[in-house]
Amino acid sequence: MKKAILIVSSGTSVLEALNETTNKLEKRLMDTYPDYKVCQAFSVQPIVNKMQAMYPGTYFNVQEMLEKLLEERVEELAVLPFYMIKGTENERLREVIKEYEDKFAKVVIAKPLFHIKEDYIKVLDAVLDAADMNEGEALMLVGHGTKHHDNTEYQNLEYTAYTQGRRNIFVATLEGYQKTNLLMRKLQLTGCENVRLMPLLLVIGKHAKVDIAGDGDSWKTKLIEAGYQVEVQMTGLGELDSIQDIFVEHLKEVFGA
């Protein structure tokens, strides 16, 4: 019986970022599950179009990859969403998978990064290990965000930091969640003059480089204009082994191992 693991991400056209994130995870899963075909698909069609134009026959959207797996007579399929939250993209993915469920003998879908309380703690630990913060420095994490109700996952991460006594860690999003003026007020109350700005994104792409750390209307600019000394750390969470560990654990859960 042929079995496969399908990693689904939003995708990126930046090859370096791709190699450091989903390609790295793909190789890891190949080594861990040698009896499985391990592959990946992108869920954002404009990125798929761009990659297919540059590298024909190499990158696919979810439907295209599912069709390929069926052609290869794969019977058991495990889907690993390389997403932060159970938001809109995750729901769309589940809708697509549901259309194909009866074409496979078995289909299981793992959870995204944030699922249970322990995930927030693990993510926070991973971020702090990567951030290498200086004493007296505040940490501003900025994610993409969504208008979906699961946008509260970002608030939960900040609350987790707060309950662990870390009152100098804040979480913002480009869409939804907290208003900028409220976050700035909370930051001001810490008395910190230095801020480490870090994307709360799996992959470093346009949003990180322009909306978070750019020289225009970005979070970096807002913080500088507010009088803070800003240190930008461009680390994608998906690059970190400790973050990939969480995704692997979520995959093991649906495997029952």
This prediction's pTM: 0.92
CA distance 47 to 176: 23
Whole-number pLDDT of residue 225: 94
Whole-number pLDDT of residue 141: 95
Residue type, 162: Y
Whole-number pLDDT of residue 241: 97
Please state, in angstroms and as integers, the Cα–Cα distance from residue 27 to each residue in 76, 187, 238, following that order. Answer: 20, 40, 14
CA distance 73 to 70: 5
What ranges in 141-218 are assigned the alpha helix state H?
A: 152-163, 180-190, 206
Sign of the C-alpha dihedral computed for residues 19, 21, 22 and 24 taken in this order:
positive
**Whole-angstrom distance between the N-terminal and C-terminal Cα of the chain?**
19
Whole-number pLDDT of residue 44: 94
Asked if residues 222 and 180 have their Cβ atoms less than 8 Å apart, the reply is: yes
C-alpha closest to that of 79 among 57, 59, 63: 63
Whole-number pLDDT of residue 178: 60
C-alpha closest to that of 168 among 214, 131, 207, 215: 131
Which portions of the chain are predicted below pLDDT 50? 150
Question: What radius of gyration do the chain's Cα atoms show?
Answer: 19
Residue 151, classified by CB atoms within 10 Å of its CB into exposed (0-12), middle (13-18) or buried (19+), is buried
Q: Strand 169-175: give its sheet, edge to edge.
A: 169-175, 137-145, 194-199, 229-232
C-alpha closest to that of 22 among 248, 238, 236, 201: 238
Question: Which tens digit of pLDDT belongs to each residue from 45-74?
Answer: 999 999 999 999 999 999 999 999 999 999
Mean pLDDT of the chain: 91
Whole-number pLDDT of residue 211: 84
